[in-house]
């Protein structure tokens, strides 16, 4: 690594630049930084998933909503909380899915202020196709990993803290 000139201003510490982050040892390049490596692989993985889902006409966010609902109906607020999205983003996602007859919203008979969201038969059939497409992407992406290594990676990634706490950022566009 090149030496800094003594005339240069000292570089701010990592913790000063990024509050809450511990100082890390000096790196030798971007490949040594886990966050940059995850970002690069995350972007490449998202592109592969988007391509695989193109035939079904849904986005990764639509797929996530459908997969959550495949386990059974949910209150609209509960679904939004699971996804970690702003209510207006959720409404846009649900409107899009409802237009395609993949989900249905109805008033809760016990509480008319509450909406219940459920997957339709067409939505359940779509989830089956999405699951197969995503499984194919995962098989290709993780082909060099053993089953045990995949389980370990899954476990470690589940423990990684995220600044947003969710794969769905509340400020992101509803069509992403």
CB atoms < 10 A from the CB of 45, how many? Answer: 15
- Exposed, middle or buried by CB within 10 Å (0-12, 13-18, 19+), for 162? exposed
pLDDT of residue 25: 56
pLDDT of residue 24: 54
- Sketch the domain layout of the chain as residue ranges: 58-158
Q: Return the CATH number of the domain spanning residue range 58-158.
A: 1.10.10.10
**Mean pLDDT confidence for 23-35:** 73
pLDDT band for position 35 (cuts 50, 70, 90): confident
Rounded-to-integer distance, Cα 100 and Cα 98, Å: 5
Tens of pLDDT along 46-86?
Answer: 999 999 998 888 999 999 999 999 999 999 999 999 999 99
pLDDT of residue 13: 42
Rounded-to-integer distance, Cα 112 and Cα 124, Å: 26
pLDDT of residue 165: 53
Average of per-residue pLDDT values in the chain: 81
Quick check: 2 pLDDT over 80?
no
Residue 64 in 3-state DSSP?
helix
pLDDT of residue 143: 96
**Is the entire prediction scored with pTM above 0.75?**
no
pLDDT of residue 30: 81
């Amino acid at each position: 690594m090149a030496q800094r000139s003594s005339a240069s201003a000292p570089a701010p510490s990592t913790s000063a630049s990024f509050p809450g982050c511990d100082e890390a040892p000096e790196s030798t390049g971007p490949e040594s930084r886990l966050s940059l490596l995850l970002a690069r692989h995350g972007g490449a993985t998202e592109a592969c998933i988007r391509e695989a889902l193109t035939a079904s006409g849904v986005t990764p966010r639509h797929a996530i909503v459908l997969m959550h609902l495949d386990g059974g109906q949910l209150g609209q607020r509960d679904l939004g909380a699971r996804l970690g999205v702003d209510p207006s983003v959720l409404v846009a996602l649900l409107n899009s899915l409802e237009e395609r007859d993949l989900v249905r919203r109805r008033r809760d008979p016990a509480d008319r202020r509450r909406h219940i969201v459920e997957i339709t038969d067409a939505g359940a059939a779509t989830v089956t196709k999405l699951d197969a497409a995503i499984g194919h992407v995962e098989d290709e992406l993780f082909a060099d990993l053993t089953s045990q290594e995949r389980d370990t990676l899954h476990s470690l990634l589940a423990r990684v803290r995220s600044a947003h706490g969710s794969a769905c950022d509340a400020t992101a566009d509803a069509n992403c």
